[in-house]
Amino acid sequence: MLHKLFVLLVLSFVLLADRNCPAAILVSLVATPSGNPVVLVSGETIKIDVMVSGIGEAGNPSSLEQLGVTLSFDPMSIGDPETNAFGPIVPDHAFPAAVSFVNTASGAAGADYESLFATPFDPITMNGLFFTLELTAQSVAFTTDSQVQLTFAGYFGPGDTDQLMADIGDPINVRVLGDVASVPEPSSCLLFSVGVCAIGLLRLRHRRLELISSGRVQKPRSN
């Protein structure tokens, strides 16, 4: 009886804790074109939308006074960002003092919004598109697989004195097709060679039978 009561108390505590646990601020990536992986050839572009969700949900801040996001990618296969643009959740009057794009190094990029520098002060209050960047598939000799992935997502809510970490979504898998045609596997080459040899032997045998039937070649005598 005591054991059952203990189990019920534990379950009640777990359910209560789960109910009071806030949904986290989530930063995720959406690719256009879509796919897993996204397949590109040299010269084609992939658009990466950085999306924010969870603002205003139970237990979460109703606004973000600061938001910073960085991501990484393979510059050898998909280059460096060519087009950067902030989304509609960033107030229009925040430009240019309160916003910045950051290309920390080849293969890394990010964006930052700081409402303290906006006039008037205007935090992010909506979920949706934070910023967009475009990457272009490079010319590669052989098919290359890589990922576009978030490496950092931090924010300040109202009254926060320390930066909080947002949850990070899954990476985008990208495949850039190579310029060099794939080389057949050794087993495929062997099967092809055997087939060619077999056809050749059949043709030789057929030719020999024709010569024997015409009398130009005598049929070998058996001992």
Q: How far apart are CA 148 and CA 29, in angstroms?
A: 9
Q: Which of 173, 181, 168, 121 is nearest to 147 (CA)?
A: 173
pLDDT at 209: 52
How much is the mean pLDDT over the chain?
A: 81
The pLDDT tens digits of the residues spanning 122-149 come to: 999 999 999 999 999 999 999 999 999 9
Is 60 exceeded by the pLDDT of residue 12?
no
Is 80 exceeded by the pLDDT of residue 215?
no
Is the separation of the CB atoms in 19 and 99 below 8 Å?
Answer: no
Is the separation of the CB atoms in 74 and 143 below 8 Å?
Answer: no
pTM of the model: 0.73
Burial class (CB in 10 A: 0-12, 13-18, 19+), 149: middle
pLDDT at 219: 52
How does residue 166 score in pLDDT terms, banded at 50, 70 and 90? Answer: very high
Q: Which of 36, 17, 2, 22 is nearest to 145 (CA)?
A: 36
CA distances from 130 to 17, 124, 127, 145, 200 (A): 31, 10, 8, 26, 66
The pLDDT tens digits of the residues spanning 82-126 come to: 878 999 999 888 888 899 988 767 899 999 999 989 888 999 999
Q: Which of 69, 46, 75, 50 is nearest to 134 (CA)?
A: 46
Is the separation of the CB atoms in 173 and 37 below 8 Å?
Answer: yes
The pLDDT tens digits of the residues spanning 42-56 come to: 999 999 999 999 999
